[in-house]
Chains A and B, each alone.
Chain A
Amino acid sequence: MMSSFLFRAMDARAGIFLAIMAAVIILIPAGNLLVPEGSAFHVPNYALTLMGKYLTYALLALAVDLVWGYCGILSLGHAAFFALGGYAMGMYLMRQIGTRGVYGDPNLPDFMVFLNWQELPWYWYGFDMFWFAALMVLLVPGFLAFVFGWFAFRSRVTGVYLSIITQALTYALLLAFFRNDMGFGGNNGLTDFKDILGFNIQADTTRAGLFVASGLALVICFIICRSITRSKLGKVLVAVRDAESRTRFLGYRVEHYKLFVWTLSAMMAGIAGALYVPQVGIINPGEFDPANSIEVVIWVAVGGRGTLVGAVLGAVLVNFAKTWFTGALPDIWLFALGGLFVFVTLFLPKGIVGTFSQGWTALRQRRISQALEAGSGEAPDAPPHSPSAPANVTHATPAPKATDPQPAE
Chain B
Amino acid sequence: MARASSLLYLDGVSVSFDGFKALNELSLTIGPGEMRAIIGPNGAGKTTMMDVITGKTRPDSGEVYFDGTIDLTGEDEASIAEMGIGRKFQKPTVFESHTVWDNLELALKAPRGPFATLFHVISGGERKRIEHLLDLIRLGGKRDDLAANLSHGQKQWLEIGMLLAQDPKLLLVDEPAAGMTDAETAETAELLKDIANDHSVVVVEHDMVFVRSLGVKVTVLHEGSVLAEGSLDHVSANDRVVEVYLGR
Check B145 against A383 for contact (C-beta < 8 Å). yes
Check if B184 sits within 8 Å of A233, measured CB to CB.
Answer: no
Chain A at the B interface: SS class: loop
Is A231 an interface position by the 8 A CB rule? yes
Q: Which chain A residues in 352-398 approach chain B with CB under 8 Å? A: 382-383, 385, 387-395
Cβ A239 vs Cβ B95 within 8 A? yes
Q: List residues of A (103-149) whose CB comes within 8 Å of B's CBs.
A: none
Bound together, the chains give a CA A251 to CA B112 distance in angstroms of 7
Q: A242-B95, A389-B97, A391-B148 are in contact. Are A248 and B77 (CB under 8 A)?
A: yes
Contact A407 B81 (CB under 8 A): no
- CB < 8 Å: which of A235, A399, A406, A409 contacts B102? A235
Docked complex Cα distance between A257 and B118 (Å): 10
A252 touches B78 (CB 8 A): yes
- Name the contact of A385 in the complex, choosing from B89, B99, B119, B181 (C-beta under 8 A): B99
CA distance A401 to B99 in the complex (A): 20
- Bound state CA distance, A335 and B229, in angstroms? 67
Knowing that A246-B95, A407-B180 are A-B contacts, what are 10 other residue pairs whose CB atoms are under 8 Å apart, sorted by A's residue number?
A5-B118, A235-B106, A236-B114, A243-B94, A249-B77, A252-B112, A260-B114, A385-B99, A406-B138, A408-B183
Question: Could you say which residues of chain B place their CB within 8 Å of the CB of A20?
Answer: none
Find out whether the CB atom of A253 lies under 8 angstroms from the CB atom of B112. yes
Specify which chain B residues have a CB less than 8 angstroms from the CB of A409 in the assembled complex.
Answer: 183
Complex Cα–Cα for A2 and B119 (A):
8
Residue contact B141 to A235, C-beta cutoff 8 Å: no
A298, B146: Cα distance in complex, Å: 28
How far is B143's CA from A404's CA once the two chains are assembled, in angstroms?
Answer: 12
Whether, in the assembled complex, A327 has its beta carbon less than 8 Å from a beta carbon of chain B, the answer is no
Q: Is B2 an interface residue (CB 8 A)?
A: no
Chain B residues with CB below 8 A from A231, complex form: 117-120
A202 lies within 8 A of chain B by Cβ: no
The 14 sampled A-B contact pairs (Cβ below 8 Å) are A232-B105, A232-B117, A232-B118, A232-B120, A232-B122, A243-B96, A248-B77, A250-B106, A251-B81, A251-B82, A253-B113, A256-B114, A387-B102, A407-B138
Residues of A within 8 A of B186 (CB): 408
Q: Does B33 contact A (CB under 8 A)?
A: no
A4 CB-CB contact with B under 8 Å: yes
A381 to chain B, nearest CB (A): 9
A243 vs B148: C-alpha distance in the bound complex, in angstroms?
A: 13
> In the docked arrangement, what's the CA distance between A387 and B99, Å?
8
**Residue in chain B with minimal CB distance to A8:** B121
Contact check: which of B76, B105, B149, B166 meets A248 at CB < 8 Å? B76
Residue of A nearest to B97 (CB): A391
Q: Which of B128-150 contact A (CB under 8 A)?
A: 137-142, 144-146, 148-149
- Decide yes or no whether B107 CB sits under 8 A from chain A: yes
A238 contacts partner chain B, Cβ-Cβ < 8 Å: yes
Contact of A250 among B81, B121, B154 (CB under 8 A): B81
With CB as the reference atom, state the residue of chain B lying closest to A384: B144
> Smallest CB–CB gap between B118 and chain A, Å?
4
| Cross-chain contact A236 with B106 (CB below 8 angstroms) | yes
Within 8 A of A (CB), among B54-112: 54, 56, 76-79, 81-82, 86-87, 89, 93-99, 102, 105-107, 112
Q: Give residues 183-214 of B contacting A (CB, 8 Å).
A: 183-184, 186-188
- Cβ contact within 8 Å between B154 and A407: yes
Q: How far is the CB of B153 from chain A (nearest CB, A)?
A: 5
- Measured between beta carbons, the chain B residues less than 8 angstroms from A399 are 141
Determine the distance from Cα of A254 to Cα of B186 in the docked complex, in whole angstroms: 36
Number of A-B contacts (CB under 8 A): 137
Say whether, besides A228-B118, A249-B54, A391-B148, A254 and B78 are in contact (CB < 8 Å): yes
**Cβ B184 vs Cβ A408 within 8 A:** yes
For the side of the interface on A, what is the size category?
35 or more
**B contact set with A: CB distance below 8 Å:** 54, 56, 76-79, 81-82, 86-87, 89, 93-99, 102, 105-107, 112-114, 117-122, 137-142, 144-146, 148-149, 153-154, 156-157, 162, 166, 180-181, 183-184, 186-188
Please judge, given known A-B contacts A242-B97, A243-B95, A250-B162, whether A5 and B119 are in contact too, CB under 8 Å.
Answer: yes
Q: With both chains docked as a complex, state the minimum distance between the C-beta of B80 and any C-beta of chain A, in angstroms.
A: 8
- Asked if A394 and B146 sit within 8 Å, CB to CB, the answer is yes
Does A158 touch B at the CB level, under 8 Å? no
- In the complex, how many angstroms separate the beta carbon of B92 from the nearest chain A beta carbon? 10
| Residues of chain B within 8 A of A5, CB atoms compared | 118-119
A323 in the interface (beta carbon within 8 A):
no
Could you tell me if B96 and A391 are in contact, using CB atoms closer than 8 angstroms? yes
Complex CA gap A397/B162 in Å reads 24
Shortest CB-to-CB span from A66 to chain B, Å, is 13
Which of A2, A233, A243, A405 contacts B141 (CB under 8 A)? Answer: A405
Specify which chain A residues have a CB less than 8 angstroms from the CB of B162 in the assembled complex: 250
The closest CB in chain A to the CB of B119 belongs to A1
List, in ascending order, chain A residues with CB within 8 A of B96's CB. Answer: 242-243, 391
Q: What mask results when residues 208 to 249 of chain A are scored 1 for a CB within 8 Å of chain B, else 0? A: 000000000000000000001001110110110011011011
Closest to A252 in B: B112
- The chain B residue sitting closest to A1, CB to CB, is B119
Alpha-carbon distance A245/B112, docked complex (angstroms): 15
Indicate if the CB atoms of A256 and B113 lie closer than 8 Å: yes
Bound CA span A4–B184, Å = 42
A233, B117: Cβ atoms closer than 8 Å: yes
The 8 closest A-B pairs by CB, nearest first: A251-B81, A391-B148, A248-B77, A408-B184, A382-B144, A232-B120, A233-B117, A232-B117
